Structure 1
Amino acid sequence: MTNEEMRARIAQGDGFIAALDQSGGSTPKALQGYGLNEDAWSSDEEMFDLIHQMRSRIITSPCFGSGKVLGAILFERTMDGQVGGKPTPQALTEQNIIPFIKIDKGLEDEVNGVQMMKPMPELDALLTRAKALGVFGTKERSVINAANAEGIAAVVKQQFEVGEAVLAYGMVPIIEPEVNIKSADRAQSDVILRDEILKALDSVSAPVMLKLSIPAEAGLFQPLVDHPKVLRVVALSGGFGRDEACQELAKNPGMIASFSRALLSDLRADMTDEEFDSSLGTAIDDIYCASVA
């Protein structure tokens, strides 16, 4: 696919984006959910090998390339690895799945009710390598824990500054200021965040994507979905189980899923290939239906 073909598929295609980007801190939990406890590895290298095997199994499953998955967000090691003897981004694009790369390096401690992104001193090198591998876009995550206007404004400002650095490489950033769905003032955070993003979009140099928590009030993010500077709005599951995440997403036309746990929660390492493909296929079907509802 050319870059323009990928852009058109992301903007207009039916389907969702798979989040396969668990990083160092969240990898043990992801492997435990997959049925592999910490005694299954003795070093970080072995741990990352196991998570790559899991992701390779997902990417090579027949249902993953069925046309319902528009894109996949990769962890850096996954991007640099191979699937089926091919570089991972190539293995995806050959299935008409558009590759993205997680670029943030984790979160700072909470200040003003939010967690900003840590510095990214190697961002230019990562973007150069990703673009050479055919990666279309990036994803960077912050977290909003309270409806603090100053904190939320700072998160959005940082997110769009990083987004501009990505746009300068001809890539599309997925801007992800996640609202903690367990926070007591989640609905107020949603409103403040929407309004801050709308202000930031006025001056952004090219269209971006947004990855947002499903809003407490259905339809609240419709102005973002309809905005000419927004290529697509995708939703994270944010701790919802798959059934609830799909039900809530379906209340928000125009938003599509970008789920991780809700996509992978039923997969286990000891499944036969038939069991694995059936379980993954059910999850893909459920999330696809919610995304096109």
Structure 2
Amino acid sequence: MKQNQFEKIKNGKGFIAALDQSGGSTPKALAAYGVTDEAYSNEEEMFDLVHEMRTRIITSPAFDPNHILGAILFEQTMDRQIEGMYTGDYLAEKKGIVPFLKVDKGLAEEKDGVQLMKPITNLEKTLKRANERHIFGTKMRSVIKEAKPESIKAVVDQQFEIGKQIIAAGLVPIIEPEVDINSPEKEKCEEILKAEILRHLDNLNNDEYVMLKLTIPTRKNLYKELIHHSMVVRVVALSGGYSTDVANEKLKANDGLIASFSRALSQDLNVNQTNETFHAALEKAVKSIYEASV
């Protein structure tokens, strides 16, 4: 773990950009960017196009370290290059932005009101490669839809169990048990989730640091204890399907919570925009998310 990157993530002003749409969500991300499925005939071409999109975002002058602390990458993005450098190295060295890697393999089927993560195959190899590619931390996502204590406990147990393997590999895990923004029991889910997370945090050793990525809570400042916990590097918020404006407004109401938005960052970007229009649209999104985060 690089100390200067640790300090930047822990104490820096800004937010974390999520550029980690994977196989399942890539067609949707490309379509939102104006690239329809007619533009590619196989998965390889699809991933080439999404890497072009991400390269355009990352190399934009609007994607700058004064506003953006870190960026979460999809595994393929980590293994690809930007201007002759691996993406993580380009982010760290050219941009001064801390690279993270999405390591989960997607969600299992919904059961008892939650979606656990599918088994993460070859995790050890992936973490070894992440270290070779100079990645700082990882991210993995589960989803909570109903306020069932045992189910929420299972989600958090799974996250921290894998989180400890990631810590042992010298990386900082972002634990992401998302609460569905459309859940009729959202607030109750969040209360149970907070208690479960605190239970695990209190049992960590004094060198086992984690980050948390959580849905913006219904009750403002609910996650204050998590934000100030000694074993938490940073608590970041996912946009969860909210538009940029709505997500920003909700974020502003929560002290110390910063953004890690995906859709809200790129919703106004289009493949057909001139570079000038593209950079301006990205700059507007970056500045609005930054303002909500600080």
Same fold (TM > 0.5): yes
Deviates more, 1:64-73 or 1:162-171: 64-73
1:108-147 equivalent positions in 2, closer than 5 A: 108-147=108-147
Match of 1:136, as an amino acid?
F
Match of 1:182, as an amino acid?
N
Distance 1:210 1:281 in 2: 26
Determine if contact 2:212/2:236 at 8 Å carries over to the other structure. Answer: yes
Determine if contact 1:160/1:204 at 8 Å carries over to the other structure. Answer: no
Q: CA deviation at 1:63?
A: 1.2
Matched, 1:271 2:270: no
Distance 1:275 1:139 in 2: 31
3-state secondary structure, aligned to 1:184: coil
Tell me the alpha carbon deviations over residues 108-160 of structure 1, each in whole angstroms, 9 at most, x when there is no partner.
11111100000112100000000111000000000001111010000000000
1:31-180 equivalent positions in 2, closer than 5 A: 31-94=30-93, 95-180=95-180
Distance 1:27 1:181 in 2: 22
Matched, 1:217 2:216: no
Distance 1:84 1:287 in 2: 27
Distance 2:209 2:40 in 1: 42
3-state secondary structure, aligned to 2:118: coil
Distance 1:22 1:152 in 2: 24
Paired-residue identity, %: 53
Distance 1:150 1:225 in 2: 24
Residue matched to 1:185 = 185
3-state secondary structure, aligned to 1:275: helix
1:1-12 equivalent positions in 2, closer than 5 A: 3-12=2-11
Residue matched to 2:263 = 261
Distance 2:30 2:264 in 1: 14
Distance 2:270 2:148 in 1: 40
Deviates more, 1:58-67 or 1:29-38: 58-67
Distance 1:111 1:44 in 2: 30
Tell me the alpha carbon deviations over residues 12-33 of structure 1, each in whole angstroms, 9 at most, x when there is no partner.
0000000000000000000000
Residue matched to 1:239 = 241
Match of 2:49, as an amino acid?
L
Distance 2:65 2:184 in 1: 39
Determine if contact 1:249/1:255 at 8 Å carries over to the other structure. Answer: yes
Determine if contact 1:164/1:204 at 8 Å carries over to the other structure. Answer: no
Determine if contact 2:65/2:96 at 8 Å carries over to the other structure. Answer: no
Determine if contact 1:67/1:96 at 8 Å carries over to the other structure. Answer: no
Match of 1:214, as an amino acid?
I
Q: CA deviation at 1:270?
A: 0.5
State TM-score, norm by structure 2: 0.98
Tell me the alpha carbon deviations over residues 187-218 of structure 1, each in whole angstroms, 9 at most, x when there is no partner.
00000000000001111231100000000111
In structure 2, runs of 5+ residues without a counterpart are none
Aligned-residue CA RMSD in angstroms?
A: 0.7
Distance 2:83 2:144 in 1: 38
Match of 1:37, as an amino acid?
T
Match of 2:204, as an amino acid?
V
